[in-house]
Amino acid sequence: MSKIPFVFGICLVGMTTSLFCVDEARTDPSPRIDSSWTRVLAGDAAAGPVPFGDRCFIVTDDRSVAALDVDGRFLWSRGISGRPAPFIGVSPEGLILAFSEPGTITAVSQDGYLLWRMKRSKLPSGAPVFAPDGRIYIVYADEILCLSSVGRIKWAADLPEDAAGHRSRILSQDGSGNLLVCGDAKDVIRVSPFGEIVERVAASSLSDSPLSIAGLLPNPGGYYAYSSDGRIVCFDVRDTRAPNAQPTEAIWEIRESASVSAWNAIESALVLLCEDGSLSARNSTDGALLWRGGTGGPVLEPAVVDVSRDQITVIHSGTASSWSFTGSSAYRKKTVASIREPAMTSSGFAYLSRTDSIIDGVRLENRIGTEKKHRKTQRYAILVSEENPWIGLFPAQNGAETTLFSRITADLSEYGPSTREPRYARELVRILENPASLSSNRQRAAALLGQLGSLEYRAFLLEYAYKNKDPFVMEGILAGLTECGPDFDGSVLEALRYMSGEGHSGNESLQLALCDALYSVIRYTGGSVAYNGTQMLASFAVAPYSDRISNRARFLLARLLD
């Protein structure tokens, strides 16, 4: 049995898990270079492995999701209800989404805490897509569901009737963060972050000859698509092109010698691994060939092309190879074969699912400085728009502000604000920054802004936390931050530490809000942030805090053990 440790004060908090594991002696006679360990899972692999940091997460058919680290340790296991679906999602912030029949979505933190469950009557068409600002797209046969990281429904949109019913879909995003949905390789539907269908274009019209789309990948100006016949097309969707340009325009098209098995993109190039084992880089501007090399044989199984840490690492068919961005080969190593898509960490460690219930960990490289910068949180620039469509409709009057709050609350309790979200967010910011508004209204505006669920709103609330001195507004900021999900960079914890030292030691209401915010940070976040958050929450459980505050802190600490 494995445990998840957190230390608070002098206590050791652990969450017992249910995964039993067995080390397996290596019986495969084929040579393996740098193979570190082999483990037997509690059941056959159903989805994954998917990496996050130096961990990987995998769903097994014993109806559980488990975590392993680079040392081969089973960190935890969390049960899910129903037969698992063959896909899993892990967000850049560390939120894990597992899916099971008939349609349950289970959200788990990187340290194994059950965060939330959502029960639906059907399974989605594939793994979720994570948008640049933290929103989650889940695509079904007949609709698209958009969630926040804490499980709030932001919007639900029906797919066009003649596009519904496809069980197999290709999902991606364009360079602006719009969702791309391609069903049965026939057309591409582009959906805005707020649920509007921006464009629908038939795949047959995207090229001079019919294009049967087999894969999509974002690029800064639009997206790439490849077809089963080896063609790769680059599409531009930017609004800055000529006024008479089509919404989606093909700017270059090339054909490879074989179909694409795996691909990835760097800033100036598209990296392609084809079925014949060739690896090539194409200029992202015009598709020109930059270089080509061989990876040691045809691709006979799922493959991965990793482009983290200024190099290219390719894993397929029991072989791993590394290349510079200019095409120089650094190494080629023999590994175990993987029947599922290999998982590569940014530190150069690979997780390989070798058979249905066996997983191998292989140290391919020793990379220094493995922490990658988190993506920019201002991707959609929702709060920096000069447009203010609410001017005149909701002036700075307390009655009008209350009406706005009621509208937003009603939308959040049903199927989300959808296309109204940008307007709501900008108006809430205006109220929060308006000293003429009542403190109670500014408090509610901060809380609702967090509930709208975007990393852009999180960034604003964090910035405002250091400017605001009003304890009522501070409570609203704390309530809003509890809705922002994982504290991936530790910024929320630092803001909580700052607010706890602002001289409000006698304000029990504020201290209770601080405890709740710390509890949210601990549950949604792992590693040192959760460790330090637990210590800080434990400090509220003892003197000089009142019995009411201490009891609340102890209650929340106890819930972490459930």
For residue 42, give the DSSP letter: S
Yes or no: say if 364 and 322 are a contact pair by the CB < 8 Å rule: yes
> Which tokens hold the place of 431?
């109220």
Exposed, middle or buried, 161 (CB in 10 Å: 0-12/13-18/19+)? exposed
What is the three-class DSSP state of 431? helix
| Radius of gyration of the CA atoms of the chain, in A | 25
In order along its 562 residues, the chain shows pLDDT tens digits of: 333 333 333 343 333 333 223 333 333 333 344 458 999 999 999 999 999 998 999 999 999 999 999 999 999 999 999 999 999 999 999 999 999 999 999 999 999 999 999 999 999 999 999 999 999 999 998 899 999 999 999 999 998 876 665 555 789 999 888 999 987 757 899 999 999 999 888 877 766 777 788 999 999 889 999 998 899 999 999 875 555 556 788 899 999 989 999 999 988 999 999 999 999 999 999 999 999 999 988 998 889 999 987 899 999 988 999 999 999 999 998 888 877 889 999 888 999 988 789 999 999 887 665 444 444 444 688 887 655 444 334 444 557 899 999 999 999 998 888 999 999 999 999 999 999 999 999 999 999 999 999 999 999 999 999 999 999 999 999 999 999 999 999 999 999 999 998 766 678 999 999 999 999 999 999 999 999 999 999 999 998 999 999 999 999 999 998 7
Number of H helices and number of E strands within the chain? Answer: 9, 35
CA pair distance 273, 291, nearest whole angstrom? 12
Query: Quick one: angle between helices 491-500 and 471-481, nearest 10?
Result: 160
211-235 burial: b if 16+ Cβ within 10 Å, else e: bebbbbbbbebbbbbbbeebbbbbb
Nearest 5°: phi and psi at 9? Answer: 60, -120
Yes or no: say if 480 and 425 are a contact pair by the CB < 8 Å rule: no
Nearest 5°: phi and psi at 330? Answer: -95, -40
For residue 371, give the DSSP letter: P
DSSP assignment of 462-496: HHHHTT---HHHHHHHHHHHTTS---TTSHHHHHH
Yes or no: say if 311 and 323 are a contact pair by the CB < 8 Å rule: yes
pTM: predicted TM-score of the whole model, two decimal places: 0.88
